[in-house]
Amino acid sequence: MLKKERYAAFIDHFSNNMPIAETELQYESPFQLLVAVVLSAQCTDKRVNMSTPAIFENFPTPAHLAAADFDELFPYIKSISYPNNKTKHLIGLGKMLVEEFDGEVPSTVEELVKLPGVGRKTANVITSVVWNQPNMAVDTHVFRVSKRLGLVNQNAKTPLEVEKQLVKHIPKQHIHIAHHWLILHGRYVCLARKPKCGECTLTHFCRYFEKNREAILNEGTLPPKKKK
């Protein structure tokens, strides 16, 4: 199957079966989403969602974060991975938002990556989720699933390489939601250690399934046939 055909099948499937796909992080404003995404680095959304209500209640604005000291904020973050660094990042992030952006979350990747704790992936998440900009955040799920499906070249070694290939081939209007399609599929079906190929509805265009079809079928986990 040609790469162009894989992309067409990918867009067709999810446009029809998952026309609405959103982040599982809970938030009510761009600022809250920014805090949540910073905290979600190498941490599950479920764990972050357990911690953020208290953070949002006690530090509701960038100014509140900017005024906090380490010992004040740390207890709210200590159950999340890398709490020391993330506490420092949030305090620094609050200060920069107040001092350089008038307390508002900037709307461009170039400005967002200036903030402490914000890399390209986080900036792409914010701009695509809040403003539907055609930016592709590549996390571990997007990286894995896009390569397994055959959407990107197998020799793509970095998130940026994967991002560039996805953005090049996915229609602009679908990029912001395709990020969620790939994440959710990777989180619940295309698992890292043992993908659930027997439950997957993408096997008709999946490169991984094509290469491993015999072994997968021998496991007795037949994938569902594509509906005509």
Active site residues: 121, 139
The answer on whether 206 is annotated among ligand-binding residues is: yes
Asked whether 100 and 115 are in contact (CB, 8 A), the reply is no
C-alpha–C-alpha distance, residues 67 and 79, integer Å? 22
Q: What is residue 196's DSSP assignment?
A: -
With CA atoms as reference, report the closest residue to 116 among 93, 83, 98, 97. 93
The H or E element that residue 216 is part of is helix 207-218
* The amino acid at 126: I
The answer on whether 43 is annotated among ligand-binding residues is: no
The answer on whether 200 is annotated among ligand-binding residues is: yes
Tokens describing residue 81: 């991975």
The H or E element that residue 148 is part of is helix 140-149
Number of other residues whose CB lies within 10 A of the CB of residue 29: 13
C-alpha–C-alpha distance, residues 145 and 188, integer Å? 11
Asked whether 178 and 22 are in contact (CB, 8 A), the reply is no
Asked whether 136 and 175 are in contact (CB, 8 A), the reply is yes
**Binding site for [4Fe-4S] cluster, residues?**
190, 197, 200, 206
**Binding site, residues?**
190, 197, 200, 206
